Amino acid sequence: MHLTVKLVFCVALCYGQTLLQNPLDNNTGLHNELSERIGNFSIEVLFHTAKTLGNGQNFIMSPITVWSVMAVIAEGASGNTRLEINNALRLSTRVKDSTRLGFRNITQWLQVNTNTVKLAKINAIFVDRERLPLPDFTGIAKEYYQTEMITLDFKDSVNAARLLNSAVSNFTRGKIPNLVDASYFQDTRMVLTSALYFKGQWTVPFNSTFTTRMPFFNSNGDKIGEVNMMSNRNNYPFANIGQLQARVIELPYGNENRLSMLIMLPNRGVSLEDMFANFKNVNLDILFEELRVAKEQYSEDQVDCFIPRFKIESDLELTDVLRNQFGIYDLFDPSRAQLPHMARTPMFVSKIIHKAEIEVTEEGTEAAGVTVAEFSNRIGVVQFQANRPFSYVIVEKVTNSIVFGGFYRQPSVY
105 and 36 in one domain?
A: yes
Q: Going by DSSP bridges, is the β-strand pair 246-252/188-201 parallel, antiparallel, or unpaired?
A: unpaired
144 and 111 in one domain?
A: yes
Q: What is the CATH number of the domain that holds 118?
A: 3.30.497.10
The answer to whether residue 2 scores a pLDDT higher than 70 is no
293 and 278 in one domain?
A: yes
**Cα–Cα nearest to 32, from 96, 103, 119:** 103
Q: What are phi and psi of 151, to 5 degrees?
A: -90, 130
Asked if the structure places residue 144 within a domain, the reply is: yes
Asked if the structure places residue 413 within a domain, the reply is: no
Counted domains in the chain: 2
12 and 54 in one domain?
A: yes
238 and 378 in one domain?
A: yes
Q: What is the CATH number of the domain that holds 300?
A: 2.30.39.10
Asked if the structure places residue 414 within a domain, the reply is: no
251 and 155 in one domain?
A: no
Answering whether pTM is above 0.75, one says yes
Please say whether the beta carbons of 364 and 31 come within 8 A. Answer: no
pLDDT tens column, 72-93: 999 999 999 999 999 999 887 7
Q: Which structural domain range is residue 351 located in? A: 3-201+311-360
192 and 296 in one domain?
A: no
Asked if the structure places residue 396 within a domain, the reply is: yes
The answer to whether residue 54 scores a pLDDT higher than 80 is no
189 and 77 in one domain?
A: yes
User: Given strand 238-241, what is the order of strands in its sheet?
Assistant: 59-61, 401-408, 390-396, 259-266, 246-252, 238-241, 373-374
The amino acid that residue 143 corresponds to is E
272 and 129 in one domain?
A: no
Asked if the structure places residue 67 within a domain, the reply is: yes
176 and 101 in one domain?
A: yes
pLDDT at 14: 58
Instruction: Give mean pLDDT, residues 3-23.
Output: 47
pLDDT tens column, 355-400: 888 889 988 776 522 222 233 333 456 789 999 999 999 999 888 8
69 and 56 in one domain?
A: yes
